Amino acid sequence: MGPAKVDVPSPKDFLQKRPKAPKPALSDKKPDMNVAKKPPVPRRSDHPIMGIQSGKNFINTNAADVIMGVAKKPKPIYVDRRTGDRHGLELSGLVPKYINKKDYGIIPDYICKRNEDVKKLQEEYDSYVQANLKKAAMKRLSDEERDTVLQGLKKNWEEVHKEFQSLSVFIDSLPKKVRKERLEAEMKQLEHDIGVIEKHKVIYIANK
């Protein structure tokens, strides 16, 4: 019980301004002998080889190389604006180099296969619809029959519209009002039927 018993620090272990860093422990690792060593310093008795001369005329040789050499072609570039940065033309996509390929313009095989698969699935779907329609006793109108029905509806609308225009301006009796409403309803129904037939090219009707 009571306060913990702690050793009193020694007066010799006081804080110093700049204590020396501890020295690193000596490593037991042996030095690598495979490391390439630098060449030794030449001795005082070693002298460089001197007196070697060449009879080549470098001025004439360089001039002949320049005259006979092929002129260097400038690298094609493009600039985005008058004071803009310059960029390589080949990587810009402006050079039509792909049109020179052998298979340019040829539809890839995977797209042909995909189109064949889509066509096959469409044929299977059409055959499935035809089979279900036959089971449900449905008949598809041909293009001629569809045009005939459409022309007949338009003719009926013209007749009803002509009769509607022949009505009197003042509707002052109940029979006139009823007749006007009936003609408007017939015209509206005919317009709806004409719009449905014109919108759908394939029409099925139930067999009687």
- pLDDT tens for 140-196 read 788 888 888 889 999 999 998 998 888 887 777 888 888 889 989 999 999 999 998
- Establish how many alpha carbons lie within 13 A of residue 52's alpha carbon, considering only the half-sphere containing its beta carbon: 3
pLDDT at position 62: 93
Which token pair is 141?
């109108």
pLDDT at position 207: 65
* Chain mean pLDDT for the chain: 84
pLDDT beyond 90 at 32: no
Give the highest mean pLDDT range of 24-38, 81-95, 143-157, 161-175: 143-157
% of residues, the chain, pLDDT over 70:
91
% of residues, the chain, pLDDT over 90:
22
pLDDT at position 201: 83
Distance of CA 39 to the CA centre of its chain: 60
pTM above 0.95, yes or no: no
Distance of CA 56 to the CA centre of its chain: 62
pLDDT at position 202: 81
pLDDT at position 5: 79
pLDDT at position 137: 66
Instruction: Provide the pLDDT confidence category of residue 122 given band limits of 50, 70 and 90.
Output: very high
Q: What is the dihedral of CA 138, 141, 145, 150, to 10 degrees?
A: 100
Span 107-122, mean pLDDT? Answer: 94
pLDDT beyond 80 at 206: no
Other residues' Cβ atoms within 10 Å of the Cβ of residue 153:
20
Q: Which residue has the higher pLDDT, 48 or 114?
A: 114
Span 78-84, mean pLDDT? Answer: 84
Span 64-93, mean pLDDT? Answer: 86
